[in-house]
Amino acid sequence: MRDLARQFLLYTRSQRRAVITLVVLILAVLGSVRAYHYYILRQPVAEDSALRREVAEAAIHHDRADDPTENEAPADEVSPISKNVTGLFYFDPNTIAVPEWLRLGLTEKQANGIERYKAKGGTFRAAADLNRLYSLTDSDKARLIPYVRITTAGIQHSEERTRAHSTPIEINTADSAAFESLWGIGRVLSVRIIRYREALGGFYSVDQVGEVRGISDSVFAAIRPRLSVNPALVRKLHLNTDDYETLRRHPYLHARIAKAITGYRERQGDFQRIEQLKEFQAVPQEVYDRLVPYLAL
């Protein structure tokens, strides 16, 4: 130690200053490490009160889940939206819709499949009726059946829906409310159907409803059995008297065909037969077939 001190005294002033600075830095680093371990790592982690409550509630509901009859209310008094922490809640499958099925842990495809089953007249009269649903897995059924609470009001609601859904809708006279009663048809699509009907001059086939923008093939397949049509209500286009603008606005026509029709009248006179349209290169056979029910001389 004495030799080190003697050696230090032999250094120049600048060398001694550098050594002192280095020692101070080393001591500062060591002190910071010790302070971190003492003041930070040894401090207890503050518990979040909300987290404590959530964990406690989860523990309580987990115990109750082992016994589905715990605090069970009479069937007619069970609220279909009394949700618990696990995502399961008492429900009447006759009255809940897609959002509630999703909350119960089903996929959107499964939920829509159940609603299609109900739309076709399916009614749940007992919890075991969930076993009829092929879209549910065995684990889904085992998980959901203990929470099913069939109510008298739910059965009545389902039966009323079945009666309403068995009544055909005449698509040339139906209003937006009638279309909205169809599965998968909301306000937007019902308005589109009516606008398309007006543009056409009425429907001559129920298949034309499937042409409405936004109606998927699956939705149309589900609602088609409820649709009926009276072709006599179709408003006709008159080949010999309707002007260019009237013809052009029809969904099955366009400007080129409308111009060809009015040009023919100017050159050749009135049409004698509707079939003369097939002689126009501007009118393909598939367009002609769709147009014929709307044409008159």
Closest alpha carbon to 151 in 142, 162, 140, 159: 159
* Average confidence (pLDDT) over 158-175: 77
The domain defined by 167-233 carries CATH number 1.10.150.310 = yes
Question: 166 and 123 in contact (C-beta within 8 Å)?
Answer: no
Q: Residue with structure tokens 């937007």?
A: 188
Q: Rounded distance, CA 23 to CA 15, Å?
A: 13
Q: How far is CA 7 from CA 4, 12, 26, in A?
A: 5, 11, 20
Structure tokens at 126: 């007992």
Q: In sequence order, what are the residues at sequence separation of 6 or more whose Cβ sits closer than 8 angstroms to the Cβ of residue 213? A: 192
Question: 187 and 180 in contact (C-beta within 8 Å)?
Answer: yes
Q: Rounded distance, CA 213 to CA 196, Å?
A: 9
Q: How would residue 56 be classed by pLDDT, with cut points 50, 70 and 90?
A: very low
Structure confidence at residue 18 (pLDDT) = 75
Question: 274 and 251 in contact (C-beta within 8 Å)?
Answer: no
* Average confidence (pLDDT) over 78-102: 70
Helix residue ranges per DSSP H, 66-175: 98-103, 108-119, 138-144, 152-165
pLDDT tens-digit map of 7-32: 555 556 677 677 788 778 888 777 77
Question: 69 and 126 in contact (C-beta within 8 Å)?
Answer: no
Three-state SS string across 161-229, please?
HHHHHCCCEECCCCCHHHHHCCCCCCHHHHHHHHHHHHHHCCCCCHHHHHHCCCCCHHHHHHHHHHEEC
Structure tokens at 77: 């008094």
105 sits in the region (left: phi over 0; alpha: psi -120 to 50; else beta) called: left
pLDDT at position 55 over 80: no
Structure confidence at residue 225 (pLDDT) = 85
List residues bridging with 227 in a β-sheet.
Answer: 169
- 276 or 65: which leads in pLDDT: 276
